[in-house]
Copies of this chain bind each other. A is one copy, B any other.
Amino acid sequence: MRIRVINPNTTAAMTETIARAAREAAASGTEIDAVTSSTGPVSIEGYYDEALSLPGLLIEIRKGETQGVDAHVIACFDDTGLDAARQIATAPVIGIGEAACHAAMLIANRFTVVTTLERSIPALEHNLLKYGLERRARVRAAEVPVLALEDEASDARARIDAEITRALVEDRAEAIVLGCAGMAKLARDLSIKHQCPVIDGVGAAVKLGEMLSVLGLKTSKRWGYQSGTPKMLTGPLAGLMRGE
């Protein structure tokens, strides 16, 4: 089985972190194909960055479809472009945000997402509403920029740690979801320290991809995710999407 993990943040160091988390979770027969989007913002923090990451992300989804991958994982916690990707994919597409939330619901009555910046909160709250989790989850920001997670010298870890402490008491959280792909490497340590499940979405998404593939389940092409006839593009984006 082959699962394509796409980092829509165009920062290769972050893709390393993601690939490692994906491979640790993968079953023995699963090949992880981790790729960095070839064009778009170096990090995704909020609505605008999300929007500009879409062309690069969708190019990678198309490539994966051509290669016949068994599942696509979108390795950005905002689940950027998830529905658009599903419209052009026959293989399943899993967002790491939804993956982590599905895992959390299996082991906790209530959980808190700890994300990077305040300005990412509304997009994540919006996703929770879409997924039906607005009654069971809260979102908090540690005020850590995405790229600070790649910088060993930053205080990122301490800030995330402190926010988890607050969540466990103030939100009555029973589990913590790490709200950024770049935090994947912190899950196990934080879990031990806080004596509660701390969930990274990258590993969870890989396992969900395996689940759907083994069960023979693909993205439904009835109603909402119908592909339709290819639409003509005008202007420079036409060339960009053709890889020119």
Residue contact A224 to B52, C-beta cutoff 8 Å: no
B122 near A107 (CB under 8 angstroms)?
Answer: no
Contact A207–B215 (Cβ < 8 Å): yes
Residue in B94, B207, B233 whose CB lies within 8 Å of A52: B233
Is A45 interfacial (CB-CB < 8 Å)? yes
Contact with B along A111-129 (1 / 0, CB 8 A): 0000001110111001001
| CB-CB under 8 A for A217 and B197, given A92-B106, A174-B224, A174-B225 | yes
A82 and chain B: residue at smallest CB distance = B47
A173 at the interface (CB under 8 A from B): yes
Contacts of A136 in B (CB 8 A): 132
Which residues does chain B contribute within 8 Å of A131, judged by CB atoms? 105, 132
Q: Which residues of B contact A238 (CB under 8 A)?
A: 39
Contact with B along A216-244 (1 / 0, CB 8 A): 11111111111010011111111111001
Name, among A106, A132, A211, the residue most crowded by chain B CB atoms within 10 Å (CB to CB).
Answer: A106
Chain B residues with Cβ below 8 Å from A218 are 107, 197
Assess whether B42 is in contact with A234, with CB atoms less than 8 Å apart.
Answer: yes
Contact B203 A215 (CB under 8 A): yes
Contacts of A109 in B (CB 8 A): 122, 223-225
